[in-house]
Structure formats: C-alpha cells, structure tokens
Amino acid sequence: MARWEKLWMRMMLFKNWYLFVFPGTRILSERPRIARLRNGTVFRMGGTNSTTYRVMVDILWNDEYRLGAIRDPRCIVDLGANVGVFALTVAKRFPNAHIYAVEPVPETFAQLVENIRLSGVTNVTPLQNAVAHTYGTRTLYLGESSVEHTLFPSLLGDHGNPSHHITVETLPLSHFGTCDVLKVDVEGAEYELFEDTIPDCDYLMMDVHRIEGTAMNAFLQRFEKQYHIDPQPEDIAQDATNAEFRFTKKAPEPTTDESLPRHDMQ
C-alpha cells in the first residue's frame, strides 16, 4: 500500500488519526494510546505494528467479514473475541442486538473489558472462556501474539513454545442457545465445535485451519446443504494454513403438500 493510501486509511479509521501517522508514530512508537474510531468505538492499543491495529484494518478497512450482509440481528456470538474489535463494532452498528464476546486469555480478556468500558456500550457481555465440545477445563497453548493462542500445540509452528500454556475453563456452543450471527476464530477448535452438529444461524464467519489429520474441504462440505459459502473451498490455495470463510443461510426449499388435491388443466 502506498504511503498516501496508508495516510488516507488511518484518517478514515481514526478520529485521532494524528496518533497513527508521523510524527505521532515516532513519538509514541508502540506505546499504548487511546484510539477513537469513527465508528464510535474506543480502544487502548499500541501503534501501527500492533496486533490490534492489524485486526482493525482487516475488519474495518478490508471488510473481511462483509458486515453489510448482517441484517437486524438480535443475538451475536463472538468466539475468539480478542480485544473486541468485531464485538464492539457490531455492538455500535446494531444497538438492539446483544453480543457475547468470548475470550479465554486473562490479559487479553482484561483489555476486552477495558475497551467495552471505554466504548460505553451496554450490549456486550464478556466471557472469560475457551470454546470446546463440553464444559470443563483445557490447556491453552500461547503463541507469540494474542491471535495465535490455541488448544492445539501443532498449530503453533514457529510462533510459540508448547511449554508456554495456561489452563482455561471451557464452554460448549450450546451454552448460547440460538443466535443470529456467529463469528468463529478459535485457532483449530472449529473442528471440535462442529464435529456433531452444524449451527443454525443467519450468518456465520469462520477462520478455518488446516490441522494434520483433518480435511478442510470435507469439513466445509458439511455446511453446504445449509449455507452458501464464500469463498468456495476449492478456491483456497492448497498450501494455505488457514482461510476466512463466510456462510450465508440458504432459503428453505419449497415443499409440495401431496395431501392437497390436484386440478388438471382441461
């Protein structure tokens, strides 16, 4: 991206954009600052090299989740909420919806809670849990950044040490009942979550990982009867370690009531 494009993007994203361009970036470096976004959300975050900034660009500028596809939700569940970029964005955009923001790592969860407070929203419930097949506890392996923590040490690759881990409390997806919108970014736990059932919601966003011993395409094919999938699984490069998919619920197929009398044309 050209320098002027970066400047324009930061001016469009942030009300206090001057903290994210030179000389603000030189003075503050990566020290924490309060970011006031034009969508009404407020975050305590680092500079333009921070994980939070990169997530903001993906969700708010690149529109990774195609938020325009969401229509009048009542309940939104954010699994893997991190510091709340998605949860707080949809909380402001859909004030009549209630959002459950699920994040297991204590330090990240504390930032999520602070950002909820700074943004002044009352329709977000933060939950300090990981999501798994059942209620209980699991070992969470810590990656180099807050978006790389996982229940599966094989996913760490060169980005973490399996000896760095914590114990977290888990809850199943059934804890939330039905929801209209579901965002899933759980670093490999998606296979376990949907092992037995496919969620019934209007719109689903899911980051799907390639894990040894699992087949990404076969996993996604289980969703095809119920959802339109974008992009198509076959369009994902075979060497991609993960990919973001969007699932839009299909309209129910018309049914024919065989009990009704038929009137043949004369």
Reported as a single tens digit per residue, the pLDDT across 142-190 is: 887 777 888 877 776 665 667 788 999 999 999 999 999 999 999 888 9
Tokens of 25: 């970036």
Residues 26 and 78 in one domain: no
Boundary residue ending a domain (16, 47, 64) = 64
pLDDT digits (tens, 9 = 90+) for 93-119: 999 999 999 999 999 999 999 999 999
pLDDT, mean of residues 190-214: 89
pLDDT above 90: residue 240:
no
Query: What are the tens digits of pLDDT across the range 14-24?
Result: 999 999 999 98
3-state secondary structure of 247: strand
Percent of the chain with pLDDT strictly greater than 90: 69
Same structural domain, 93 and 129: yes
Is residue 76 located within the same domain as residue 166?
A: yes
- The answer on 203 and 116 residing in a single domain is yes
CA pseudo-torsion sign 74, 251, 65, 129: positive
If one counts the domains in the chain, the total is 2
Q: Based on the domain organization, do 107 and 58 belong to the same domain? A: no
Token duo for residue 139: 């070992």
- pLDDT for 265: 45
pLDDT at 211: 79
Residue 102 lies in a domain: yes
Statement to judge: residues 32 and 138 lie in one domain:
no
101 shares a domain with 39: no
| Measured distance CA(81)–CA(59) in Å, rounded | 12
Residues 177 and 221 in one domain: yes
179 and 165 in one domain? yes
Out of 12-26, 72-86, 151-165, 222-236, least confident range: 151-165
pTM beyond cutoff 0.85: yes
Q: What is the DSSP-derived secondary structure letter of residue 60?
A: I
- Tell me, what CATH number does 116's domain have? 3.40.50.150
Domain annotation covers residue 266: no
Q: Tokens at residue 188, please?
A: 């490999």
Same domain, 150 and 214: yes
User: Across residues 230-258, what is the average pLDDT?
Assistant: 84
Q: What contacts 24+ positions apart, CB below 8 Å, involve 137-143? A: 137/167, 137/168, 137/169, 137/170, 138/167, 138/168, 138/170, 139/165, 139/166, 139/167, 139/168, 140/104, 140/105, 140/165, 140/166, 140/167, 140/168, 141/165, 142/105, 142/166
pLDDT in tens, 39-57: 999 999 999 999 999 999 9
